[in-house]
Amino acid sequence: MDKIDRAALELREMDELAAMKSPVHFMHPITKLIITISYILTVVSYGKYDLSGLLIMALYPLFLFSLSGISMGICFRKMRVVLPLVCAVGLFNPFFDRTPLFSFGGIVISGGVVSMITLMLKGVLCLQASFLLAATTSMDSLCAALRRLHVPMLMVTLLLLTYRYVSVMVQEVSIMTTAYKLRAPGQRGIHISAWGSFLGQLLLRSMDRAEELYASMQLRGFDGSFRYAEGKKAGFPDYLWAVLLPIVFLLLRKYNLAELTGRLLMSAGS
Protein backbone atom coordinates (compact mmCIF):
# COMPACT_ATOMS: atom_id res chain seq x y z
CA MET A 1 0.00 0.00 0.00
CA ASP A 2 1.51 3.34 -0.93
CA LYS A 3 1.49 6.52 1.11
CA ILE A 4 -1.64 7.96 -0.50
CA ASP A 5 -3.71 4.82 -0.02
CA ARG A 6 -2.54 4.71 3.56
CA ALA A 7 -3.59 8.35 4.02
CA ALA A 8 -7.03 7.56 2.60
CA LEU A 9 -7.37 4.59 4.91
CA GLU A 10 -6.30 6.64 7.92
CA LEU A 11 -8.92 9.22 7.07
CA ARG A 12 -11.58 6.54 6.99
CA GLU A 13 -10.29 5.05 10.21
CA MET A 14 -11.53 8.18 11.95
CA ASP A 15 -15.06 7.13 11.01
CA GLU A 16 -14.39 3.70 12.47
CA LEU A 17 -13.11 5.23 15.70
CA ALA A 18 -16.19 7.45 15.84
CA ALA A 19 -18.39 4.37 15.47
CA MET A 20 -16.94 2.70 18.60
CA LYS A 21 -19.06 2.38 21.70
CA SER A 22 -18.01 3.99 24.97
CA PRO A 23 -19.42 6.49 27.48
CA VAL A 24 -17.58 9.26 25.61
CA HIS A 25 -19.03 8.17 22.27
CA PHE A 26 -22.52 8.11 23.76
CA MET A 27 -22.19 11.65 25.09
CA HIS A 28 -24.24 14.19 23.13
CA PRO A 29 -22.17 15.88 20.37
CA ILE A 30 -23.11 19.37 21.58
CA THR A 31 -21.84 18.50 25.06
CA LYS A 32 -18.56 17.26 23.63
CA LEU A 33 -18.24 20.32 21.44
CA ILE A 34 -18.84 22.71 24.35
CA ILE A 35 -16.42 20.84 26.60
CA THR A 36 -13.72 20.72 23.92
CA ILE A 37 -14.05 24.41 23.05
CA SER A 38 -13.95 25.42 26.73
CA TYR A 39 -10.95 23.14 27.29
CA ILE A 40 -9.02 24.60 24.36
CA LEU A 41 -9.83 28.17 25.41
CA THR A 42 -8.69 27.41 28.97
CA VAL A 43 -5.45 25.79 27.81
CA VAL A 44 -4.67 28.64 25.44
CA SER A 45 -5.30 31.22 28.17
CA TYR A 46 -2.47 29.97 30.40
CA GLY A 47 0.49 32.36 30.76
CA LYS A 48 3.75 31.49 29.01
CA TYR A 49 5.53 30.63 32.28
CA ASP A 50 2.55 28.85 33.86
CA LEU A 51 3.82 25.36 33.15
CA SER A 52 2.89 23.87 36.51
CA GLY A 53 -0.71 25.03 36.15
CA LEU A 54 -0.91 23.71 32.61
CA LEU A 55 0.34 20.26 33.53
CA ILE A 56 -2.86 19.57 35.47
CA MET A 57 -4.83 20.16 32.26
CA ALA A 58 -3.14 17.11 30.76
CA LEU A 59 -5.37 14.99 32.99
CA TYR A 60 -8.43 15.69 30.81
CA PRO A 61 -7.17 14.03 27.60
CA LEU A 62 -5.63 11.21 29.65
CA PHE A 63 -8.97 10.59 31.32
CA LEU A 64 -10.82 10.73 28.00
CA PHE A 65 -8.40 8.36 26.27
CA SER A 66 -8.91 5.75 28.96
CA LEU A 67 -12.69 6.25 29.06
CA SER A 68 -13.18 6.13 25.28
CA GLY A 69 -10.97 3.08 24.73
CA ILE A 70 -8.97 4.94 22.08
CA SER A 71 -5.26 4.52 22.48
CA MET A 72 -3.08 7.59 22.79
CA GLY A 73 -0.72 5.95 20.31
CA ILE A 74 -3.33 6.25 17.56
CA CYS A 75 -3.61 9.96 18.31
CA PHE A 76 0.15 10.53 18.05
CA ARG A 77 0.37 8.34 14.95
CA LYS A 78 -2.36 10.28 13.18
CA MET A 79 -0.89 13.61 14.22
CA ARG A 80 2.69 12.78 13.37
CA VAL A 81 2.74 15.35 10.58
CA VAL A 82 1.30 18.20 12.64
CA LEU A 83 3.08 17.52 15.92
CA PRO A 84 6.56 18.61 14.79
CA LEU A 85 5.05 21.88 13.54
CA VAL A 86 3.31 22.42 16.86
CA CYS A 87 6.51 21.65 18.72
CA ALA A 88 8.50 23.95 16.46
CA VAL A 89 6.41 26.95 17.49
CA GLY A 90 8.40 27.76 20.63
CA LEU A 91 11.74 26.39 19.50
CA PHE A 92 13.49 29.75 19.40
CA ASN A 93 12.19 31.03 22.75
CA PRO A 94 15.31 29.88 24.72
CA PHE A 95 17.46 32.09 22.49
CA PHE A 96 15.38 35.22 22.90
CA ASP A 97 14.29 34.93 26.53
CA ARG A 98 17.30 34.20 28.70
CA THR A 99 15.86 35.58 31.96
CA PRO A 100 16.67 33.03 34.71
CA LEU A 101 13.44 31.78 36.18
CA PHE A 102 14.53 29.15 38.66
CA SER A 103 17.28 26.63 39.17
CA PHE A 104 16.82 22.90 39.25
CA GLY A 105 19.62 20.81 40.74
CA GLY A 106 22.06 23.65 40.16
CA ILE A 107 20.98 24.16 36.54
CA VAL A 108 19.49 27.55 35.84
CA ILE A 109 16.32 27.30 33.79
CA SER A 110 15.58 30.38 31.71
CA GLY A 111 12.16 31.81 31.00
CA GLY A 112 12.65 30.88 27.33
CA VAL A 113 12.93 27.17 28.11
CA VAL A 114 9.81 27.23 30.28
CA SER A 115 7.81 29.21 27.71
CA MET A 116 8.97 26.82 24.96
CA ILE A 117 7.78 23.78 26.90
CA THR A 118 4.53 25.55 27.82
CA LEU A 119 3.84 26.43 24.20
CA MET A 120 4.59 22.89 23.03
CA LEU A 121 2.40 21.42 25.74
CA LYS A 122 -0.44 23.80 24.88
CA GLY A 123 -0.24 22.73 21.26
CA VAL A 124 -0.17 19.04 22.08
CA LEU A 125 -3.08 19.29 24.53
CA CYS A 126 -5.23 21.25 22.07
CA LEU A 127 -4.47 18.74 19.34
CA GLN A 128 -5.32 15.84 21.62
CA ALA A 129 -8.63 17.45 22.64
CA SER A 130 -9.55 18.09 18.99
CA PHE A 131 -8.55 14.56 18.03
CA LEU A 132 -10.66 13.11 20.83
CA LEU A 133 -13.66 15.14 19.68
CA ALA A 134 -13.24 13.97 16.08
CA ALA A 135 -12.51 10.37 17.06
CA THR A 136 -15.55 10.03 19.30
CA THR A 137 -18.06 11.96 17.18
CA SER A 138 -18.92 11.42 13.52
CA MET A 139 -18.50 14.42 11.24
CA ASP A 140 -22.22 14.45 10.53
CA SER A 141 -23.11 14.53 14.23
CA LEU A 142 -20.56 17.26 14.73
CA CYS A 143 -22.11 19.30 11.95
CA ALA A 144 -25.57 18.73 13.42
CA ALA A 145 -24.22 19.99 16.77
CA LEU A 146 -22.76 23.09 15.13
CA ARG A 147 -26.11 23.82 13.48
CA ARG A 148 -27.85 23.44 16.85
CA LEU A 149 -25.43 26.03 18.18
CA HIS A 150 -26.60 28.31 15.36
CA VAL A 151 -23.37 28.26 13.39
CA PRO A 152 -24.42 29.47 9.89
CA MET A 153 -25.62 26.70 7.58
CA LEU A 154 -23.21 27.76 4.84
CA MET A 155 -20.19 27.25 7.10
CA VAL A 156 -21.37 23.91 8.42
CA THR A 157 -22.26 22.56 4.97
CA LEU A 158 -18.89 23.75 3.75
CA LEU A 159 -17.17 21.89 6.59
CA LEU A 160 -19.08 18.68 5.84
CA LEU A 161 -18.49 18.83 2.11
CA THR A 162 -14.81 19.64 2.61
CA TYR A 163 -14.51 16.55 4.77
CA ARG A 164 -16.19 14.45 2.10
CA TYR A 165 -14.25 16.21 -0.67
CA VAL A 166 -10.89 15.46 0.98
CA SER A 167 -11.49 11.72 0.87
CA VAL A 168 -12.73 11.92 -2.72
CA MET A 169 -9.63 13.90 -3.66
CA VAL A 170 -7.32 11.45 -1.92
CA GLN A 171 -8.95 8.59 -3.86
CA GLU A 172 -8.43 10.43 -7.13
CA VAL A 173 -4.81 11.21 -6.26
CA SER A 174 -4.30 7.53 -5.53
CA ILE A 175 -5.77 6.45 -8.89
CA MET A 176 -3.80 9.06 -10.82
CA THR A 177 -0.46 8.40 -9.14
CA THR A 178 -0.88 4.65 -9.71
CA ALA A 179 -1.60 5.29 -13.40
CA TYR A 180 1.44 7.59 -13.57
CA LYS A 181 3.80 5.20 -11.76
CA LEU A 182 2.84 2.30 -14.01
CA ARG A 183 3.94 4.30 -17.02
CA ALA A 184 7.02 5.79 -15.38
CA PRO A 185 8.90 2.85 -13.92
CA GLY A 186 11.86 3.63 -11.69
CA GLN A 187 10.88 7.26 -11.36
CA ARG A 188 10.56 8.68 -7.86
CA GLY A 189 7.44 10.79 -7.48
CA ILE A 190 5.90 12.80 -10.27
CA HIS A 191 8.22 14.67 -12.58
CA ILE A 192 7.97 18.43 -12.29
CA SER A 193 7.04 18.73 -15.97
CA ALA A 194 3.83 16.79 -15.28
CA TRP A 195 2.76 18.73 -12.18
CA GLY A 196 0.65 21.27 -14.03
CA SER A 197 -1.44 18.81 -15.98
CA PHE A 198 -1.55 16.43 -13.00
CA LEU A 199 -2.97 19.08 -10.69
CA GLY A 200 -5.36 20.36 -13.36
CA GLN A 201 -6.67 16.87 -14.03
CA LEU A 202 -6.90 16.17 -10.32
CA LEU A 203 -8.99 19.28 -9.78
CA LEU A 204 -11.34 18.48 -12.65
CA ARG A 205 -11.71 14.82 -11.73
CA SER A 206 -12.23 15.40 -8.05
CA MET A 207 -14.71 18.21 -8.80
CA ASP A 208 -16.69 15.80 -10.97
CA ARG A 209 -16.65 13.20 -8.22
CA ALA A 210 -17.56 15.77 -5.56
CA GLU A 211 -20.43 17.00 -7.72
CA GLU A 212 -21.71 13.45 -8.16
CA LEU A 213 -21.47 12.86 -4.45
CA TYR A 214 -23.36 16.06 -3.69
CA ALA A 215 -26.00 15.08 -6.25
CA SER A 216 -26.34 11.75 -4.48
CA MET A 217 -26.92 13.60 -1.20
CA GLN A 218 -29.46 15.94 -2.78
CA LEU A 219 -31.33 13.06 -4.40
CA ARG A 220 -31.83 11.56 -0.96
CA GLY A 221 -33.35 14.68 0.48
CA PHE A 222 -30.30 16.57 1.78
CA ASP A 223 -31.19 20.27 1.93
CA GLY A 224 -28.50 21.58 4.26
CA SER A 225 -30.21 20.50 7.46
CA PHE A 226 -28.81 17.65 9.49
CA ARG A 227 -31.92 15.77 10.53
CA TYR A 228 -30.23 12.50 9.63
CA ALA A 229 -27.35 13.11 12.00
CA GLU A 230 -29.36 14.13 15.03
CA GLY A 231 -29.27 11.13 17.29
CA LYS A 232 -30.64 10.92 20.79
CA LYS A 233 -31.77 14.06 22.57
CA ALA A 234 -29.45 15.51 25.17
CA GLY A 235 -30.27 14.15 28.62
CA PHE A 236 -29.57 15.37 32.14
CA PRO A 237 -26.03 13.87 32.27
CA ASP A 238 -25.18 15.64 29.00
CA TYR A 239 -26.29 19.01 30.39
CA LEU A 240 -24.49 18.27 33.65
CA TRP A 241 -21.18 17.52 31.93
CA ALA A 242 -21.57 20.52 29.61
CA VAL A 243 -21.82 22.78 32.66
CA LEU A 244 -19.61 20.95 35.15
CA LEU A 245 -16.46 20.40 33.10
CA PRO A 246 -16.08 24.00 31.86
CA ILE A 247 -16.47 25.11 35.51
CA VAL A 248 -13.76 22.63 36.54
CA PHE A 249 -11.50 23.98 33.78
CA LEU A 250 -12.11 27.54 34.99
CA LEU A 251 -11.35 26.58 38.59
CA LEU A 252 -8.17 24.82 37.51
CA ARG A 253 -7.22 27.91 35.55
CA LYS A 254 -7.88 30.20 38.49
CA TYR A 255 -6.28 28.08 41.19
CA ASN A 256 -3.02 26.36 40.39
CA LEU A 257 -3.73 22.93 41.82
CA ALA A 258 -0.12 21.76 41.52
CA GLU A 259 1.13 24.81 43.38
CA LEU A 260 -1.54 24.52 46.05
CA THR A 261 -0.79 20.85 46.60
CA GLY A 262 2.92 21.61 46.76
CA ARG A 263 2.39 24.35 49.33
CA LEU A 264 0.12 22.09 51.35
CA LEU A 265 2.72 19.33 51.38
CA MET A 266 5.48 21.78 52.26
CA SER A 267 3.52 23.27 55.15
CA ALA A 268 2.61 19.78 56.39
CA GLY A 269 6.29 18.83 56.23
CA SER A 270 7.45 21.88 58.19
Q: Which residues here bind another protein, judged by CB under 8 A? A: 9, 12, 15-16, 18-19, 138, 140, 164, 171, 209, 212-213, 215-223, 225, 227-228, 231
Q: How far apart are CA 41 and CA 119, in angstroms?
A: 14
Minimum gap (Å) between residue 7 Cβ and another protein: 13
Helix (H, G, I), strand (E, B) or coil at 58: coil
Residue whose CB is less far from another protein, 15 or 50: 15
Strands 107-110 and 100-104: antiparallel
Nearer to another protein, 148 or 209 (CB): 209
Euclidean distance between CA atoms 117 and 121, whole angstroms: 6
State in angstroms the smallest separation of the CB of 149 from another protein: 20
Q: Closest approach of Cβ 135 to another protein, in Å?
A: 13
Nearer to another protein, 36 or 138 (CB): 138
For residue 158, the minimal CB distance to another protein (Å) is 16
Closest alpha carbon to 57 in 128, 149, 136: 128
How many Å apart are CA 89 and CA 191, to the nearest integer? Answer: 33
- 260 CB-near residues (< 8 Å, 6+ apart): none
Q: How many other C-beta atoms lie within 10 A of the C-beta of residue 235?
A: 12
Instruction: State the nearest-atom distance from the C-beta of 185 to another protein, in Å.
Output: 26
Please state the closest distance from residue 134 (CB atom) to another protein, in A: 13
Integer Cα distance of 149 and 33 in angstroms: 10
Q: Which is nearer to another protein, 13 or 50 (CB)?
A: 13
Residue 232, Cβ neighbours under 10 Å: how many? 8
- Comparing CB distances to another protein, the nearer of 201 and 216 is 216
Identity of the residue, 98 or 227, whose beta carbon is nearer to another protein in the bound complex: 227
Please count the other Cβ atoms lying within 10 Å of the Cβ belonging to residue 151.
14
